[in-house]
């Protein structure tokens, strides 16, 4: 008799253990480690999806009557859904991210497995065209998801539910909400073969720029390639630090090609935002069917198909966003993380994993090299490279012939205002723009709106209100419970009423919200350059799916001369014809309550500057600032990463921040503010007490509670506790103890052992 141990996909803490089942005779040669099965579970024998983790030939060692053993119900997929490397990851991931086995299974196995074969689907249609049109024009619809769905259905007709949701980016609840208004109805039927294959992958476009030319590596690239090649078969992290345009991609591709030639597999991670149709098509062009490309535009069916090709070894290079680190590749010989500093590598929902941590686990399990590549590595990565933990590979020159780094100028906006140019477009930037237009070249303008709207800046000098203890900008806090507004330091909890803020630069006492007006900018542009077409890309103009792409394509095709946008446009896009870049409100970029904001600010300015002069014409970059002597701007202007790093690592050391200490966050969220304050008090007392008993060698420090930077979210209020310690694993131990001692129903908590992004 064969028996097997399984883990439940929907496990909760109490059921998060291995259960033993009998394997029915007819499945004996099919059920193996990694099989996906249905099992009867609990008193009601409800059917649960489960993963087989081991199979044995006898029931001797299970310790109870084998006749009482329940038996597997059915096999959900003919092939195993996890290979042995993935199975080996379950335990380390659980302890690292304090999640259940089921959470790990959900991250590794696409949700479509086991259901895809049925190919039955729900369709959505409009009940009455007239009624729908009336509702749309009445202005009564408040939700943009509702409006988008109705508009789509009116123009496209009956649509599969999932397709509709993915196209307009709406939730099931929103769809049901629309049905409750009586304007749409659902129906269910089997899909035809054509419909299953519908929404095909963007066809490979074989024309010019979608294919990358294969280059002979230059000397620097060759050194990097050789180092990686020689460590194939050994676990080793490489930090490939190369300025923008230095040809890092070429190095990745050469290394990947080498591994593929040797019959191995590659995981190649890129930020989601870089997975444009162009990227997808040149990857396909270069690697053909050997590549599986995972991106957000794929339907569930397509995701499943790509995943299936990977697990069967048909696709041997996986290119995708952070979730592709879980890909079921068999003979992993190389992992690449491009733009390793990118915040998208940190998961923002539970489990809040950091992709690099998982990459390092996989690197050890498979004994293979891992390349972290960036023009602006994370301070923690550079620190590890300096310590010899990572091997540093440097590319100091731009790779394309004649391409040089742009000329960066910091413009003092206080002077510009005095000279009558206003605080949006400086004189030097205007001159450069006119010159570019005369040569029919393009211009990009960056505005920054993220994060800083919750901080205050000094009205006279532009300096933000800083915490005197922590040197981070304080967060504006507005609570119904407290009359008046407060400034709070997210790190140490230091709190003052807004009226008491004093500027540390000029001792000014008047503060205002910082910001750059998009609308005023557009008006000025129209006035100054009436013949030039402007495109705008920000949260508002990219609501509709595909909008982001279409704006970039228009700009690439030179249908506009100026692209105005937030940091979204800074990343990875290569526009050969852009020669002038303006960063408006450059100070604001680094101004946030998060200790990683300088790192991000430096990265963004470097990225923005890297957009200029990608072709043969040298670029010009203008950083407009109210505080031109801000060291961060000076380092960025000189593209001097090392100087930036020196000052930043010093700050981190003094403030005991990563890499010197691990920073963890426990967030308590409740719908009632009074209840929140009371329970946060209980937790504070407990944590203070608990941590005071710990050995001082563990390095615990404890702060809080303070209101979260986004205090009110979806009807809940949130308080944050910050714990520092010398190791991430100590933070995990604290949280495990908290979870044992506090009822999650009364104290809804979430935890992050790597707080503040990636």
User: Which residue ranges make up the site for Zn ion (CB under 5 A)?
Assistant: 467, 469-470, 489, 491-492, 494
At residue 424's C-alpha, the angle toward residues 419 and 429, to 5°, is: 75
Residue 606 in contact with ligand ADP, rule: CB under 6 A? no
Contact of 104 with 55, CB cutoff 8 Å: no
Strands (E), 527-651: 534-537, 562-565, 578-583, 620-625
Residue 248 in contact with ligand ADP, rule: CB under 6 A? yes
- We find the least distance from the C-beta atom of residue 249 to ligand ADP, in angstroms, to be 3
Residue 579 in contact with ligand ADP, rule: CB under 6 A? no
Q: Give the range of 243-251, 294-302, 487-495, 538-546 binding ligand ADP by CB under 6 A.
A: 243-251
Q: How far apart are the first and last CA of the chain?
A: 48
- The per-residue DSSP string of 440-505 comes to T-EEEEE---SSGGGSEEETTT--B-B-TTT-SBPEEE--SSSSS-EEE-TTT--EEEGGG---TT
438 binds, among Zn ion, ligand ADP, none (CB under 5 to 8 A by kind): none
- We find the least distance from the C-beta atom of residue 250 to ligand ADP, in angstroms, to be 4
**Binding-site size, ligand ADP (CB under 6 A):** 17
CA 440/CA 433 separation, integer angstroms = 10
- What tokens appear for 67 in the block? 């006749």
Residue 665 in contact with ligand ADP, rule: CB under 6 A? no
CA dihedral 745, 748, 752, 755 (to 10 degrees): -170
Q: Which is nearer to ligand ADP, 103 or 339 (CB)?
A: 339
- We find the least distance from the C-beta atom of residue 610 to ligand ADP, in angstroms, to be 7
Residue 242 in contact with ligand ADP, rule: CB under 6 A? yes
Number of C-beta neighbours around residue 157 at 10 A: 9
Residue of 34, 247, 705, 709 that binds ligand ADP (CB under 6 A): 247
Residue 394: enclosing H or E segment and its boundaries? strand 391-395
Residue 218 in contact with ligand ADP, rule: CB under 6 A? yes
The owner of tokens 């191995």 is 264
Residue 244 in contact with ligand ADP, rule: CB under 6 A? yes
- We find the least distance from the C-beta atom of residue 152 to ligand ADP, in angstroms, to be 36
Q: Give the range of 51-59, 74-82, 238-246, 423-431 binding ligand ADP by CB under 6 A.
A: 238-246
CA 574/CA 444 separation, integer angstroms = 12
Q: Which is nearer to Zn ion, 467 or 501 (CB)?
A: 467
Greatest Cα-to-Cα distance within the chain, rounded to the nearest angstrom:
91
Q: Which is nearer to ligand ADP, 215 or 716 (CB)?
A: 215
491 binds, among Zn ion, ligand ADP, none (CB under 5 to 8 A by kind): Zn ion
Contact of 585 with 543, CB cutoff 8 Å: no
CA 477/CA 667 separation, integer angstroms = 17
Residue of 20, 83, 159, 246 that binds ligand ADP (CB under 6 A): 246
Q: Give the range of 14-22, 216-224, 307-315, 416-424 binding ligand ADP by CB under 6 A.
A: 216-224
Q: Which is nearer to ligand ADP, 249 or 366 (CB)?
A: 249
Residue 639 in contact with ligand ADP, rule: CB under 6 A? no
Q: Which is nearer to ligand ADP, 216 or 740 (CB)?
A: 216
218 binds, among Zn ion, ligand ADP, none (CB under 5 to 8 A by kind): ligand ADP
Nearest alpha-carbon partner for 319 in 263, 376, 271, 352: 271
Residue 394 in contact with ligand ADP, rule: CB under 6 A? no
245 binds, among Zn ion, ligand ADP, none (CB under 5 to 8 A by kind): ligand ADP
- We find the least distance from the C-beta atom of residue 606 to ligand ADP, in angstroms, to be 11
Contact of 333 with 366, CB cutoff 8 Å: yes
Q: Which residues bind ligand ADP (CB under 6 A)?
A: 212-213, 215-218, 221, 242, 244-250, 399-400
């Amino acid at each position: 008799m064969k028996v097997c141990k399984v883990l439940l996909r929907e496990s909760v803490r109490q059921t998060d253990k291995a259960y033993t089942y009998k394997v029915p005779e007819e499945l004996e040669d099919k059920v193996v480690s990694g099989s996906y099965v249905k099992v009867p579970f609990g008193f009601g024998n409800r059917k649960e999806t489960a993963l087989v983790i081991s199979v044995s030939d006898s029931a001797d060692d299970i310790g109870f009557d084998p006749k009482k053993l329940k038996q597997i119900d059915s096999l959900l997929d003919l092939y195993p859904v996890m290979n042995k490397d993935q199975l080996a990851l379950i335990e380390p991931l659980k302890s690292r991210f304090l999640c259940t086995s089921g959470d790990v299974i959900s991250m590794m196995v696409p949700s479509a497995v086991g259901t895809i074969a049925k190919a039955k689907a729900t369709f959505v249609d409009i009940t009455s065209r007239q009624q729908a049109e009336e509702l749309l024009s009445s202005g009564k619809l408040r939700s943009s998801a509702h409006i988008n769905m109705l508009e789509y259905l009116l123009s496209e007709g009956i649509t599969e539910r999932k397709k509709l949701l993915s196209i307009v980016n709406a939730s099931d609840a929103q769809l049901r909400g629309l049905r409750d208004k009586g304007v749409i109805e659902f129906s269910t039927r089997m899909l035809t073969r054509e419909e299953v294959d519908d929404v095909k992958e963007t066809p490979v476009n074989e024309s010019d720029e979608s294919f990358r030319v294969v280059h002979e590596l230059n000397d620097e690239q060759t050194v990097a390639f050789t180092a990686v090649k020689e460590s194939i078969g050994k676990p080793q992290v490489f930090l490939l630090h190369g300025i923008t345009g230095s040809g890092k991609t070429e190095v990745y591709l050469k290394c990947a090609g080498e591994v593929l030639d040797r019959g191995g597999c590659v995981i190649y991670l890129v930020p989601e935002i870089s997975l444009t149709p162009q990227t997808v098509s040149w990857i396909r062009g270069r690697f053909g069917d050997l590549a599986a490309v995972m991106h957000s535009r794929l339907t569930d069916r397509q995701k499943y198909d790509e995943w299936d090709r990977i697990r069967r070894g048909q696709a041997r290079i996986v290119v995708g966003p952070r979730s592709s680190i879980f890909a079921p590749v068999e003979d992993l010989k190389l992992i690449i993380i491009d733009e390793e500093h990118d915040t998208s590598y940190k998961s923002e929902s539970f489990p809040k994993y950091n992709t690099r941590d998982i990459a390092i686990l996989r690197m050890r399990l498979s004994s293979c090299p891992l390349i972290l590549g960036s023009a602006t590595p994370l301070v923690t990565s550079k620190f590890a490279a300096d310590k010899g933990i990572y091997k540093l590979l440097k590319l100091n020159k731009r790779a394309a012939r004649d391409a040089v780094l742009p000329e960066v100028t910091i413009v003092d906006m206080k002077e510009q205002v005095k000279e009558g140019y206003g605080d949006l477009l400086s004189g030097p930037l205007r001159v450069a723009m006119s010159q570019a237009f005369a040569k029919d070249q393009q211009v990009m303008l960056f505005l920054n709106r993220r994060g800083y709207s919750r901080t205050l800046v000094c009205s006279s000098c532009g300096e933000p209100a800083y915490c005197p203890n922590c040197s981070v900008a304080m967060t504006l806090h507005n609570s119904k419970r407290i009359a008046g507004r407060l400034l709070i330091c997210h790190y140490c909890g230091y709190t003052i009423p807004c009226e008491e803020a004093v500027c540390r630069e000029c001792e000014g006492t008047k503060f205002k919200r910082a910001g750059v007006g998009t609308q005023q900018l557009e008006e000025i542009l129209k006035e100054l350059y009436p013949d030039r077409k402007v495109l705008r890309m920000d949260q508002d103009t990219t609501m509709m799916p595909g909008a982001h792409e279409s704006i970039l394509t228009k700009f690439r095709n030179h249908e506009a001369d100026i692209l105005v946008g937030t940091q979204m446009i800074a990343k990875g896009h290569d526009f050969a014809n852009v020669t002038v870049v303006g960063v408006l409100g450059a100070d604001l970029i680094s101004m946030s309550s998060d200790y990683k904001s300088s790192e991000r600010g430096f990265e963004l300015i470097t990225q923005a500057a890297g957009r200029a002069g990608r072709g043969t014409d040298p670029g010009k970059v203008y950083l407009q600032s109210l505080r031109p002597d801000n060291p961060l701007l000076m380092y960025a202007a000189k593209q001097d990463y090392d100087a930036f790093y020196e000052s930043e690592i010093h700050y981190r050391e003094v403030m005991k921040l990563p890499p010197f200490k691990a920073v963890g966050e426990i967030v308590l969220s409740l719908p009632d503010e009074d209840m929140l304050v009371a329970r946060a008090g209980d937790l504070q007392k407990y944590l203070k007490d608990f941590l005071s008993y710990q050995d001082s060698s563990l390095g615990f420090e404890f702060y809080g509670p303070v209101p979260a930077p986004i205090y009110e979210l979806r009807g809940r209020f949130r308080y944050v506790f910050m714990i520092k310690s010398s190791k991430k694993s100590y933070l995990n131990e604290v949280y495990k103890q908290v979870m044992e001692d506090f009822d999650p129903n009364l104290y809804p908590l979430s935890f992050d052992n790597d707080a503040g992004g990636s």
